[in-house]
């Protein structure tokens, strides 16, 4: 875990792959427990990353800061950018994808569905192809992805539903042998909850094998 920025209200860090971003009921190690030990105080999550996904995150150190950041996220004033390594090449070099997603909590898996019903939520993201390469006869694309909504496994299922699963994502149909999920949180930009200053942080690309 690497700390990029810290003050009395917030702490920005790089979440490692394999560590949960939020505390669970069993009290296992998570970013919340790690940061609490680091700061010696209470930590409040305001957004999440899948356990398999690493990258830049921000946590609040006070209830007031958590409330402000959570409100900004709900009002889409919180900028989140990702790097995604997918199988295949999208038809368009840049596009906005819109889907209806249903998350099955029992299976911890999301599905793209055709009609609205209970539990179905709209999901939207923007992507831009940065680079494409071929390896052992299969094409891969490195994408810059900007989330407009924050649904469970959103990036993973939106591309998998188009037969372009993320590298290493066997949960959603990838058949490669990569042990790491081809997804990372690469940039955050938000307004500081106390000072009103715009803060921006980036994480270095971790796809060294691409």
- CB of 90 closer than 8 Å to CB of 96: no
Please state, in angstroms and rounded to a whole number, the distance separating the CA atoms of residues 14 and 205.
12
Task: Catalytic residue, from 7, 24, 50, 99: name it.
Answer: 50
DSSP reduced 3-state for 22 = coil
As to burial, measured by CB atoms within 10 angstroms (0-12 exposed, 13-18 middle, 19+ buried), residue 112 is: middle
Known catalytic residue: 7?
A: no
Q: By the 8 A CB rule, do 19 and 206 touch?
A: no
Which residue carries 């307004």 as its tokens?
Answer: 191
Give the number of C-alpha atoms closer than 13 A to the C-alpha of residue 78, restricted to the C-beta side. 18
By DSSP bridging, strand 109-113 and strand 44-45 are: unpaired
Show which residues are catalytic.
50
């Amino acid at each position: 875990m690497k700390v990029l920025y810290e003050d009395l209200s917030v702490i920005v860090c790089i979440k490692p792959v394999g560590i949960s971003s939020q505390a669970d009921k069993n009290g296992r190690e998570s970013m919340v427990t790690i940061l609490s030990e680091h700061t010696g105080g209470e930590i409040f999550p305001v957004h999440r990353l899948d356990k398999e996904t690493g990258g830049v995150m921000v946590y609040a150190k006070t209830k007031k800061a958590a409330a402000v950041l959570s409100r900004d996220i709900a009002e889409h004033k919180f900028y989140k950018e990702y790097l995604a390594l997918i199988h295949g090449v999208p038809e368009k070099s840049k596009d906005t994808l819109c889907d209806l997603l249903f998350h099955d909590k029992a299976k911890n898996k999301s599905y793209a569905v055709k009609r609205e019903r209970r539990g179905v939520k709209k999901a939207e993201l923007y992507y831009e192809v940065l680079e494409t390469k071929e390896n052992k006869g299969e094409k891969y694309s490195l994408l810059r992805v900007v989330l407009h909504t924050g649904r469970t496994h959103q990036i993973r299922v939106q591309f998998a539903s188009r037969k372009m699963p993320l590298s290493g994502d066997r949960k959603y149909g990838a058949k490669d042998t990569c042990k790491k999920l081809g997804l990372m949180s690469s940039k955050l930009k938000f307004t500081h909850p106390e000072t009103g200053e715009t803060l921006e942080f980036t994480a270095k690309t971790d796809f060294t094998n691409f």
